[in-house]
Each structure stands twice: as structure tokens, then as C-alpha cells.
Structure 1
């Protein structure tokens, strides 16, 4: 891990290079932030004092270190884990997708897997929707938060909310068909069925929907309502969902979005996906 960290310059990871850096590559604190794990855990992994890291931790480290597919597979083997196969929901954000995120400065962007679990989000997305860095487990899943969590900052009528829920259930059903060996996905569906009567109804009814582009009003706690276009792109071959928010140039919404970029995530309330 230390060698991989040393070889990755901060600018290649979307971070400012800064001045007076003693480390050629990423600092432990920077890797910790990018991967969403504690600095202490990064230190213990590097020093061989942490055993049995989870597949989620290994995936996050591979993503943060911009590993090529063969390197990612090697990292899983080093952790004594089997690399996720074709029957598992892909959670690998390729270096090319990560570079695209780096180049969309000023634009809120997030990447989700096929069952709408958040994999990575840029600072602008965190400023718009709330900082997701402390979320763990099901709290990172957009479907879970829609049915059983705190919802979203996006303003929706009851009909719009049910349309979203229908599309999310349809997405999960499709994911279960494509990734039949993914135990974590099956467990998510079981817990949603047990915890939400509406989810169970939609699942059992065979509801069909599609998570399409939309125009959304985000009720932001510091700058007020911001109306943005939300587009969802699917990455062929990896089944990732890229969610992008943009404002019409020259509008008050564009000015508020620019202000959010300056404010960052200071004193903002917790994350609400979508």
C-alpha cells in the first residue's frame, strides 16, 4: 500500500499539489479521505497490524489509488479475498470514469452502482446534497434512504416520490437478475421488503419503471431552493450510474450553484442522495 500511495501524485487523484510536500505521492490523510476510511486504519494496514479488511474497504482503496484492473485484483488477493466476479454488482470506478469526475469541476457529480449504492461523489455534490463521507452500510444506498431513511433534499410531490420509488424497485429487480450471486444485493432486498410495506407491494407487483433524467428543485439549507437538471448516465461494461446536476447558464440557479461550490460542505446537514 505504501508503494502504491507513493507512486500516485495528488493531482492525479484530483487533489491540489500544493507546495513544500515531502511526500511525492499521497499522504495517509489524503488516501483516508479519498477512500472514506480512517487514517488510523490506513496506518494499521500499511504496518500489517490490521487483518481481514472487508471487500468494501479493499474496493475503496483500489478506487482511491486509481488501480488498474489487474492491480485491483492483486490487492484483493493480498487481502485474502476473492475478487468480485461477473455475477457480482460491479463497484469498481475505473480510472477513466474517475478522470471524468476530476474534470467536471464546479459540477455536482456522483457515481452509484447498479443497485444505487453511492461509490464516490465530488465536493460539489457533497455541498449540494450533504456530505456522505461518514455514511456506512445501507445508509449509502439511495433506495434504502428513499424507503427507510431520511429521504432527499430534492423536492417531490407524492406522485413524483412514488414514481421514483417504482423506478428504484424496477432497477433493483433488474440488478438481481443480472447479478444472481450477489449476496449483499439479496440481503438489501430482503431488508427492504421486511422494513417497507410499500417496497414489498411494488416488488411483489412486478412494477416497471425507469430512472430517467429530470428537473429537480433542491431545498438547500443555506442558499435556498436550487432548480437543476439531473441527468443519469450508464457506463457500458461496468454498469455504473453517473448522476450529474447542471444549471441553466445565466440564471439565479446557476449563481446559487456557484455559491455552493464556494461554501463547500461547511456546517451542512447530513447527506441525502439524488
Structure 2
């Protein structure tokens, strides 16, 4: 079962309410409180709804708020555009508009030949084909270079999400591990269905940090990716993503964010690398 506490929409509203400091909205402090952030009555007043109705939304007992209520809550919480988009998406999930029944197996792992040919054109750059659950389906020699010695590509079916939450080396490799962890769990919500989320959350259900982050719905910043390569240099990489919506996959290209990183990647690169696809 994906979530035993309310609904994704309710979880997101609670998370956003807890993240807002009353003083940032010009509201008075009310002394010590057991929970952080904005009080329900303050948010309800700002959104023009009753406290009882807001409570029902947060607890998942009401799954059909109007568009006007969603807009009012977004305004009251001062959500940015990305957070508002996620609020609307979770509204559809809560109503059942975006969800199909989970399949018995994981998402597809095959990569179409034209996509593989495109990836070859990116050699010897740093690029990878992945899906929403973090399966690494194909990669360039450059990707192998910057991840060598980290354990990410160990095994026949490497998976970034599994690696982030179960391999202790991930905390050393990703300089901003918290941000990467938020990105991985957030992407589980972005597929056309929740099949992949059911599959992977079932596999990682016993990992408390994964489950906690899955229900927080933190919209990630997706800034430069900072990697601590075992060979010594810190790498700062920008990411450009090409969505393959019909496949449920993405091509992610990593570009050096500065000259120091470009030189470090060049020093790490092995000659004669070639694309390796995993089927």
C-alpha cells in the first residue's frame, strides 16, 4: 500500500503548512507549539475556508475541493509555480483522475534503438537513459567515468533510487544527498500512472527515510549536481533532460558547470569508451 496516512494531497498540504513561518506572513507568534509552521486556523482564515474543512482535506476525508479552493490554498501558502503545479497534480491523484491499478511488475526496461543511436551521438559526453523509478537503462562512457568506484553501476540492473537509499556510499558520492533523495522520491509521482511508485515503494517500504520523504512531497530545487568522485575532484554538473513521454523514460545529459569540472572530467575520462545498454 502506497500510503497509510491520508492522501497525497493531504500530506502535501500539511507539509507546506508546516514549512511556513507565521512571521513571514506578518502573523503574530502564539508561543511554543507542538508542531512547526502555520496553525490550521491561520491557514483556513487566509484561504477563506473553515478549519473543519481544511482538517478534512489534510486527513484525506475530503478529496474533491474546488479549483477555487486549491487556488486560495496556493495563495495562502505562497506556493511557487512548481509547487502549485504539484498541488494540482495531487488533486487529480486524490480524485483518481491520474491513477491506474498497479501492474504486477516493474516498468519497461527496454530502450528503443533510435534512443540508443541518439545516446551514441553524445559520446564521450556524460549522459544516461533512465525511467521514473531510477532504473539506469543505458549510459555513455562518460557517465561510467564520473560514477566509477561509487557502486552506482554495480549489478546487472542498476537503479539510482535504490542506490541513494540503501548504499552508504551514496552519502559520500552526492555532496547534496538530501536534495538528491528528495528528487528521487518526487519523480515517483510524476509518471503518467502510479504503477512505478507502487512497485518501488513496495521494495523500499522498510527504509524509513524513503517512506518519510515519499509522503513529504518536497518539490526539489534541481540545482547543479555536486559529486564527490572517489578519484578526488568535486564535480559540479548541470542537467538537461529530454522527456520520452511515450516510453516513460528520459535522456539526461550532464554538462560541466565550470572549467574546473570540465578539466577534472577530462582527466578522469578513459580513452576508447563506448556506450553500454542494459536490457
Normalization by structure 2: what TM-score? Answer: 0.51
**CA-to-partner distance for each residue in 1:186-239, whole Å, 9 max, x for gaps?**
343123121x2121222344x142473x32332223352232223333223112
**CA-to-partner distance for each residue in 1:155-206, whole Å, 9 max, x for gaps?**
42xxx4333222322222344x7153x6xx6343123121x2121222344x
The alpha-carbon distance between structure 1 residues 263 and 211, as it changes in their structure 2 partners (threshold 3 A), is farther
Report if aligned partners of 1:108, 1:124 keep a CA contact under 8 Å in 2.
yes
Report if aligned partners of 2:174, 2:180 keep a CA contact under 8 Å in 1.
no
The alpha-carbon distance between structure 1 residues 96 and 174, as it changes in their structure 2 partners (threshold 3 A), is same
* CA distance in structure 2 between the partners assigned to 1:125 and 1:97 by the alignment: 16
1:178 and 2:177 correspond: no
Which 5+ residue runs of structure 2 have no aligned equivalent? 1-102, 274-279
* CA distance in structure 2 between the partners assigned to 1:238 and 1:135 by the alignment: 24
1:239 and 2:257 correspond: no
- Residue in 1 aligned with 2:219? 209
1:135 and 2:174 correspond: no
The alpha-carbon distance between structure 1 residues 94 and 128, as it changes in their structure 2 partners (threshold 3 A), is same
RMSD, aligned α-carbons: 3.0
The alpha-carbon distance between structure 1 residues 152 and 230, as it changes in their structure 2 partners (threshold 3 A), is farther
Once the two structures are TM-superposed, the CA of residue 152 in structure 1 deviates from its matched residue by 5.9
Once the two structures are TM-superposed, the CA of residue 101 in structure 1 deviates from its matched residue by 0.9
- Residue in 1 aligned with 2:135? 117
- Aligned residue among 168, 172, 180 for 1:164: 180
Q: Following superposition of structure 1 onto structure 2, how do residues 1-274 of structure 1 map, counting pairs within 5 Å? A: 89-130=107-148, 134-137=154-157, 140-149=158-167, 150-151=169-170, 154-156=173-175, 160-175=176-191, 178-180=193-195, 186-194=198-206, 196-205=207-216, 207-210=217-220, 212=222, 214-222=223-231, 224-247=233-256, 251-262=259-270
Aligned partner of residue 193 in structure 1, secondary structure: coil
Which one has a bigger Cα radius of gyration?
2
Once the two structures are TM-superposed, the CA of residue 256 in structure 1 deviates from its matched residue by 2.0
Once the two structures are TM-superposed, the CA of residue 135 in structure 1 deviates from its matched residue by 1.3
Report if aligned partners of 1:109, 1:124 keep a CA contact under 8 Å in 2.
yes
**CA-to-partner distance for each residue in 1:40-85, whole Å, 9 max, x for gaps?**
xxxxxxxxxxxxxxxxxxxxxxxxxxxxxxxxxxxxxxxxxxxxx9
The alpha-carbon distance between structure 1 residues 119 and 203, as it changes in their structure 2 partners (threshold 3 A), is same
Q: How many pairs align?
A: 167
Which 5+ residue runs of structure 1 have no aligned equivalent? 1-84, 266-274
Aligned partner of residue 168 in structure 1, secondary structure: helix
* CA distance in structure 2 between the partners assigned to 1:204 and 1:253 by the alignment: 35
The alpha-carbon distance between structure 1 residues 262 and 165, as it changes in their structure 2 partners (threshold 3 A), is closer
